[in-house]
Structure 1
Amino acid sequence: MKRFIIFALILILTGCGKDDPLPILPDPTPDQVIQSVEEGLSLELLEDSYEGPPSEITTIIRNDSSIDFSYGEFYTIEVSVDGQWYMMTYSDAVFLRNQRFKDTGHLLLAGGKARQTFSIEALGLKLLPGEYRLVKSFSTHVDPFYEVSVAATFSVK
């Protein structure tokens, strides 16, 4: 939840210049290496290459660990620029239009899997040709509390 609040504040305080081809934060993300499998959680894209900008991305998330994790509809899209990952930004209105766009609300049981479809269109983004990654976070819902993030890369041609 703390990550969500920080991200929301960054979105509020950050503006993109008119010359920017993509709406991104000015600094690279602090987590340059995020695996697609971490602590038994995995993120798999049904497609990892798109001809033209996708309007949505469908994923399979798996929990091969021995504990349950909570997750929500929230995710981030990052773009590779000169070999570094940058978080893409979008309007705060996204949170008003979709009040379920948060980090919690679902439970991924130990040994379970789920299918999620993420709407790029709902974020008001149009992905230009390039390399991207979708980042998804999960949280334990019992003590000890901690967060795990996984990412899957894809390209737009």
Structure 2
Amino acid sequence: MMCPADAGKTQCLIKPYTLGRGIHLPLVDPDPNPTGPVNVCRQRSITITPAAGAKHWQALEYGTEEWQKVYFRLRNSVEGYNGYAKNPLAESIEASGTRRIRGIAAQTVLLVFQLAHANRRKIKNWVETLALNGERPRRRTHLRRQTEPQRAWAPAG
């Protein structure tokens, strides 16, 4: 890890050479300490043990092709579900008029009930497409349209 002032992300009073780089950079004033400035202020970089840095660890490197494949698949499923729950003919979670009560906590509880109903509706529709006990399914599955692979439109990492 590197000092933010040395990395050009901030300005620091302890390091005068970082001052005057522009008003867009925040000015950092570290708390006075009887033992002197913290390690990151006294040297250009520090080493963080794997145990201390484990909370920032990611299985996939940000921006790689594999990361894009996983990230966009997860994001598409979340956005698709948001659109499903915002359906004005069903739960219509986007319209706050369907939850006529005051307060953030009360609104949240009612929103949870609406999302639970959307989940139930989605599961019920899926079960109706299954052929159980050798019988024909009650509903036909949706035919998916052919799409281009994600690599065709995703930005390069």
Shorter-chain TM-score range: under 0.3
The structure carrying a bigger strand percent of its residues is: 1
TM-score scaled to structure 1, two decimals?
0.18
